[in-house]
């Protein structure tokens, strides 16, 4: 029921996904009339599950948690908790999804709140940025957890080579950074389960030199939104500028340049650290975009991501003091 | 002597600046042979001051501070301290300029380190972002100081209407943010010398809804560099893409879109909180770009910016507890 378009996007996306993946089944949670009107399943592998409530975009997480236990969001998470589903995908309220995920599924040992992680297109391949705002005021231990959880995420369905991990910082040299980043650098460098590369600055984020960039959620949120803000601004300026034929001529160039800014192309942020697979779709995407999020969830469920993360988190900590 | 091009840029910029401003005088500090070869002053208002050293790009601030007291940077700051100049402009090593500025000029009462502040182009007008990396691990009191110093900066040479101040945050709603930002919001809201507007998110930075955006230096540095990184990446992709005539056709569009990303057009970052006017030019600009930094310094000197900042800092603090 979530996102800007609700079942008008999610229902057709599920229909297409079922057609493309003959070995999966989907449970679609939502208000009955809407679901019935929109879903034209021919696969026989779609189940509609009726819910009397929905979480609204501006519901406060604490409110949703208390008063919306028959919402599509809560019920879908419950299906994962009860073993009736292997993953949950939602385009709804991120804060509510996080709070309900914690309440329904619980977190892995040592994790206080799940981290939010997106893979954004870079010059070569993709870069995975976490945390994106779920955790602020992160200490060095938490940044270290992010590095391990992100490493597990990137190994799911990929090669066994550990991904290259970098810490987002204000400079590349050793002495730079705030207290948490300096202490985290020592932890990451001493951890043999990670391929730690060192610091990375904001202007290097999209260059693909690291597979995984770790940062406090406040910083990651501002970085990602700053990038999105500039992209949107440029597109707006280009649309407003005069000269129709020039604009037409520029189209392929612009498509190439801005293609990788399309949220549908890097859709599906993972909530890492929960005892179950939960993927958050961008609220504004179309059915194709929502399909990416479904694919992300499928890969994470097949790769048993929560078990992998639990394994990496339980690995012995590097023997290194953090008395910075 | 600083920046990517040294006196090859700064000397012609000064010559042009002298021609455009008949009522000012300039002292150019540097190595004698280079200065004489490059400056063709006809104004009679240029003095060449010989120095035997220069601060290198990769000099550590502590090293420069101890061993480079006959550098052009140190000597230029000394001229301000001794009353022989009203402002200092440098394209050199930012960390060294900060450290030397503190050592030679000293900071204003209540200021530990100067803040670094740039005015970047926005959809309507400009937006002033501070701090940009000089101060990390900022507490609420420091963010409050930034708001007052930035307000003084924007009032110099401008209207007396106080600029609209916003706090950079991960959400627009009240409960969002890290500890420092939440506590700072209370301080800013209670300060009647400020026109505090509330929170702003990263994707709103360039829209011009606020004149001044206050943040921790770690966050501001990452935000600005993320924006620069995307801009550079897009320009590179466009240059590499095939189709010469299409590229030619797209030129005016792109110039319009990317013009505001040219560092020369928002050149001249101010070091706020020193007992003197110090402006840092981007290291990669041409003479026209360096001229912007000279203009910024002139406006700040004429507006007696340090005195204004001292006045605002001394204003009574809002009667509001910060026990967050």
Interchain contact, A224 vs B241, CB within 8 Å: no
Question: Could you tell me if A200 and A287 lie in one domain?
Answer: no
Instruction: Between B69 and A233, name the one with better pLDDT.
Output: B69
Residue A267 included in any domain: no
Chain A: residue whose CA lies nearest to B207 = A233
Residue A257's pLDDT is 63
Is residue B64 over pLDDT 70?
A: yes
Residue A324 included in any domain: no
Residue A321 included in any domain: no
Looking at residue A44, which CATH number applies to its domain?
3.40.718.10
pLDDT tens digit string along A78-115? 999 999 999 999 999 999 999 999 999 999 998 988 99
Question: Could you tell me if A110 and A129 lie in one domain?
Answer: no
B92 and chain A in contact, CB less than 8 A: no
A250 CA: distance to closest CA in chain B (Å): 5
Contact A111, A273 (CB under 8 A): yes
Closest residue to B179, CB basis, from A137, A207, A222 = A137
Contact B219, A218 (CB under 8 A): yes
Find the mean pLDDT for residues B91-108.
96
Question: Could you tell me if A94 and A139 lie in one domain?
Answer: no
Question: Could you tell me if A164 and A194 lie in one domain?
Answer: yes
Residue A100 included in any domain: yes
Widest Cα–Cα separation across chain A: 64
C-alpha distances in Å from residue A58, one per residue of A91, A94, A96, B119, B295: 13, 10, 9, 34, 46
Question: Could you tell me if A248 and A131 lie in one domain?
Answer: yes
Residue A248 included in any domain: yes
Residue A287 included in any domain: yes
Total domains, chain A: 2
3-class DSSP assignment, residue A73: helix
Helix pair angle (B217-240, A217-240), 10° resolution = 40
Residue A255's pLDDT is 66
Residue A268 included in any domain: no
Task: List CB contacts of A82: < 8 A, sequence separation 6 or more.
Answer: none
**pLDDT tens series, chain A, 324 aa:** 999 999 999 999 999 999 999 999 999 999 988 887 777 788 899 999 999 999 999 999 999 999 999 999 999 999 999 999 999 999 999 999 999 999 999 999 989 889 999 888 888 788 999 999 899 999 999 999 999 999 999 998 676 788 999 999 999 887 889 999 999 999 999 999 999 999 999 999 998 899 999 999 999 999 999 988 888 787 777 777 667 666 676 666 666 666 666 666 678 899 999 999 999 998 888 999 999 999 999 999 999 999 999 999 988 776 554 444
Task: Using CB atoms within 10 Å of the CB of residue B168, give its burial: 0 to 12 exposed, 13 to 18 middle, 19+ buried.
Answer: buried
User: Which range has the top average pLDDT, A240-254, B56-70, B229-243?
Assistant: B56-70
Closest residue to B232, CB basis, from A137, A203, A218 = A203
Question: Could you tell me if A256 and A279 lie in one domain?
Answer: no
Is residue B319 over pLDDT 60?
A: no
Residues of B whose CB is below 8 A from A170: 133, 136, 217-218, 221-222
Residue B104's pLDDT is 98
B324 falls in which pLDDT band (50, 70, 90)?
very low
Residue A173's pLDDT is 82
B126 CA: distance to closest CA in chain A (Å): 14
pTM: 0.89
Closest residue to A206, CB basis, from B217, B230, B254 = B230
Question: Could you tell me if A37 and A156 lie in one domain?
Answer: no
A98 CA: distance to closest CA in chain B (Å): 15
A206 and chain B in contact, CB less than 8 A: yes
Question: Could you tell me if A132 and A71 lie in one domain?
Answer: no
Closest CA to B32 of B11, B12, B14, B15: B11
Residues of A whose CB is below 8 A from B246: 249-250, 252-253
Among A226, A242, A262, which residue terminates a domain? Answer: A262
The 3-class SS string of chain B reads CCCCCCHHHHHHHHHHHHHHCCCCCEEEEECHHHHHHHCCCCCCCEEEEECCECCCCCCCHHHHHHHCCCEHHHHHHHHHHCCCCCEEEECCCHHHHHHHHHHHHCECCCCCCCEEEEEEECCCCEEEEECCCCCCCCCHHHHHHHHHHHHHHHHCCCCCCCCEEEEECCCCCCCCCCHHHHHHHHHHHCCCCCEEEEEECHHHHHHCCCCEEECCHHHHHHHHHHHHHHHHHHHHHHHHCCCHHHHHHHHHHHHHHHHCCCHHHHCCEEEECECCEEEECCCCCCHHHHHHHHHHHHHHHHCCHHHHHHHHHHCCCCCCCCCC
Evaluated on CA atoms B206, A5, A114, B324, the torsion sign reads positive
Distance in angstroms (rounded) separating the CA atoms of residues A210 and A165? 6
Question: Could you tell me if A145 and A243 lie in one domain?
Answer: yes
Residue B259's pLDDT is 65
Closest CA to A54 of A75, A84, A36, A82: A75
User: B276: which 2 tokens?
Assistant: 């003197």
Find the mean pLDDT for residues B233-237.
76
Chain A: residue whose CA lies nearest to B254 = A238
A124 and chain B in contact, CB less than 8 A: no
Task: Using CB atoms within 10 Å of the CB of residue B244, give its burial: 0 to 12 exposed, 13 to 18 middle, 19+ buried.
Answer: exposed
Q: What range defines the domain where residue A304 resides?
A: 1-114+273-315
The torsion region of residue A157 among left (phi > 0), alpha (psi -120 to 50) and beta comes to left
Task: Using CB atoms within 10 Å of the CB of residue B16, give its burial: 0 to 12 exposed, 13 to 18 middle, 19+ buried.
Answer: middle
């Amino acid at each position: 029921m979530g996102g800007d378009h609700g079942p008008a996007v999610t229902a057709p996306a599920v229909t297409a996904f079922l057609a493309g993946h003959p070995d999966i089944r989907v449970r679609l949670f939502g208000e009955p009339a809407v679901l019935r009107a929109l879903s034209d399943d021919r696969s026989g592998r779609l189940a509609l599950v009726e819910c009397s409530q929905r979480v609204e975009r501006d519901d406060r997480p604490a409110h949703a948690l208390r008063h919306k236990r028959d919402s599509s969001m809560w019920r879908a998470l419950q299906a994962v908790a009860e073993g009736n589903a292997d993953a949950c995908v939602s385009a709804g309220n991120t804060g509510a999804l996080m709070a309900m995920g914690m309440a329904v599924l619980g977190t892995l040992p040592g994790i206080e709140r799940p981290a939010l992680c997106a893979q954004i297109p870079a010059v070569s391949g993709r870069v995975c940025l976490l945390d994106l705002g779920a955790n602020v005021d992160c200490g060095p231990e938490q940044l270290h957890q992010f590095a391990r959880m992100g490493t597990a995420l990137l190994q799911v369905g990929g090669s066994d080579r550990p991904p290259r991990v970098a810490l987002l910082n204000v400079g590349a040299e050793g002495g730079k950074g705030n207290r948490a980043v300096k202490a985290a650098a020592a932890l990451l460098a001493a951890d043999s389960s990670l391929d730690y590369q060192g610091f990375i600055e904001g202007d290097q984020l999209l260059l693909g030199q690291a597979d995984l960039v770790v940062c406090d959620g406040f910083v990651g949120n501002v970085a990602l939104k700053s990038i999105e803000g500039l992209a949107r601004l440029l597109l707006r300026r280009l649309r407003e500028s005069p000269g129709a034929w020039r604009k037409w001529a520029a189209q392929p160039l612009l498509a190439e340049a801005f293609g990788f800014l399309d949220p549908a192309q890097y859709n599906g942020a993972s909530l890492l650290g929960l005892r179950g697979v939960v993927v958050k779709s961008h609220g504004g995407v179309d059915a194709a975009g929502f399909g990416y999020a479904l694919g992300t969830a499928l890969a994470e469920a097949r790769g048993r991501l929560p078990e992998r993360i639990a394994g990496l988190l339980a690995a012995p900590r590097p023997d290194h003091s953090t008395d910075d």
